[in-house]
Structure 1
Amino acid sequence: MGHHWKQNAMSVSAPSLQRAPVSGFQLVCLSAVLFSTAGVFTKGVNADAWSIIFWRGLAAAGIALVLLLLRREFSREIRQFRLPAILATLLMASGTAAFVPAFKLTTIANVALIYAAAPFIAALFGWLFLREKPTSTIMLGSVSALIGVTLIFGGISTQGDLWGNLLAGWMTLVMAGITIIYRRWPDTPTTLPGAASALLLCPIVAGLGTPAEVPISELAILAGFGVCFAFAFILLSAGAKHLPPAETALLSALETPLAPIWGILFFHEIPNMQTILGGALIMVAVFGTYGHQWRKKRKQARIA
């Protein structure tokens, strides 16, 4: 869920990379672990998807706003909250409204692996809307990811799987769109649109679900869901300051293979053969592409 953060990760000079690679490595890896738990939180409660979105959104928005105030960045993000930020807010709200129900309808593996194709969809959008021609590595990765997603869709066995996969697909398109917004308008704030999207959804999902009927025990879990993701973003942004963008993207991609593992361990969700094959193609595309970028950046750093 942190792809637009990956696209905006801060690059550093070679000396800076030598000073703090371990701390950056650890922070980004920990953020990937936290991001990978979305399915566990969603499937670990009996509350409906709309109630989950409501309480998770309140917790995450509250933490985000407190952090903005503590960092004294609230007024700056308000000033920068123009049309691109509004578009990002609407897309984030739309994506969240699809992402959480997707976990309720299909397996964690299906959602995580389909979502892993977001960087390649972003590359396609960049080509179409920003005239940024993708490299041959990105093009090969995109083809591999597309075949993988097609295989996952071909392996659906229930109507729930179909709708869950479609919702995960929409979330993937949304995150690719958000990436393009931040690529085109890099001064667009990131924290405030996230908080605003959560608050925007609250009155809508309150009417669709039953958040007032969620038991106290599950409220604690959902609050933890919001806190977990808020800290995942914090750790990712902090770690990205000490690593090149390609390395940040490569490490944060660890969330994708971790998510299905949690599904197997906690809910005994054994992926079918088509999901395994499709997921393998997607992961080859993801790690192959990011690995190539990482090696390229390392080579450039040594030359510099």
Structure 2
Amino acid sequence: MTATTDTARHAGIALMLGSAMLFSTAGLFTKGVEASAWQVIFWRGVFSAVLTFGAIALRGHWRREVMQMGWRGLLIAAIGATATAAFLSAFKMTSVANVALIYSASPLVAAALAWWVIREAPGRMMVLGAAIGMVGIAVIMGGSVGHGHLAGDLLALTMALGLALLFVLYRVWPDVPAAGPTALSSVLLLPVAGLMAPPLEVSSAEIGILACFGLVFALASVMMLNAAKRLPSGQAGLLSTAETPFAILLAWLILSEVPVVATWIGGALVMGGVILGGLARASDQPGSVPSTT
């Protein structure tokens, strides 16, 4: 391991853990307001886009981050927009614990996608971890049947798929900027969200709360995508799940949400699978992805 590679790896770990801490507040912001899911998506998107584009301009990176993102940046923005819409909507339809635990399976999905797309062999331990994680997701969703939460669980799974795909794409295309596509993903959601729910019906107090959400979400997204460039797909996903226990704890302390038995059992399986798969890939190093250009 060279000093440069070691530094990049440590920076990636720090960025991913910081991103996870910020993302753990998403359930509080979304469920802590009376605004509908689409209204949350709209106002979070407005402030996230303004703040991110403003930061790009102030740093003098407009040309590189926005004008030169290319079709790959546009694709990443579209995937990010879809995943974000699913993620925020899921919180309004199921518990924070269910959302956090289901999409914490993203490293397992990322490993499978990395094997399929860029031939990063997952290894037996990762395969076993993925199998355990999938059983856990099935248990969580089974506990939601008959309680009106299954649709929210499926949206959380959509988020997990989108996040896994972003991890893999940034491993394949590390030169694609992170901030520009992140801001654009918020812009892409604005017309859809505006049509789905009147944004001006939200109170000024809640708009202020969602402004803070936009700042937190923008910062967390940029940190996560920059970290994904420096780490193997499986490890990046594993570190991103650090937010899961914090999200559940915050929901319990502030929203008084207590997970049901099926969530505890399924969640233990998911986290066990994620940890097992992550430990199996602990020796992976960035820079092993073959070029696709």
- d(CA) in 1 for partners of 2:238 and 2:4? 16
1:152 counterpart = 2:137: no
Structure 1 match to 2:289 = none
Aligned residue identity for 2:245: P
Q: Structure 2 unaligned segments of length 5 or more: list them.
A: 286-293
1:120 deviates by 1.2
1:85 counterpart = 2:68: no
Structure 1 match to 2:129 = 141
Percent identical residues: 40
Distance 1:232 1:96, change over 3 A: closer
Structure 2 match to 1:37 = 25
1:235 deviates by 5.2
1:226 counterpart = 2:250: no
Aligned residue identity for 1:86: L
**Does the CA-based 8 Å contact 1:24-1:239 persist in structure 2?**
yes
Structure 1 match to 2:246 = 258
Indicate which of 87, 108, 128 corresponds to 2:96. 108
- d(CA) in 1 for partners of 2:235 and 2:150? 34
What is the TM-score with the length of structure 2 in the denominator?
0.85
Structure 2 match to 1:189 = 177
1:99 counterpart = 2:63: no
Structure 1 match to 2:111 = 123
1:212 counterpart = 2:200: yes
1:78 deviates by 3.2
Deviations 1:188-247 (A, max 9, x none): 222111111111111111111121011111011100101112233455578889x97687
Aligned residue identity for 1:194: T
Taking only aligned residues, the RMSD between alpha carbons, in angstroms, comes to 2.8
1:253 deviates by 2.5
**Does the CA-based 8 Å contact 2:16-2:223 persist in structure 1?**
yes
Aligned residues: 282
**Does the CA-based 8 Å contact 1:115-1:172 persist in structure 2?**
yes
Aligned positions of 1:17-32 closer than 5 A:
28-32=16-20
Distance 1:26 1:121, change over 3 A: closer
Deviations 1:102-146 (A, max 9, x none): 100000011111101111112222222333321222112111111
**Does the CA-based 8 Å contact 1:12-1:244 persist in structure 2?**
no
Aligned residue identity for 1:212: L
1:202 counterpart = 2:190: yes
What is the TM-score with the length of structure 1 in the denominator?
0.82
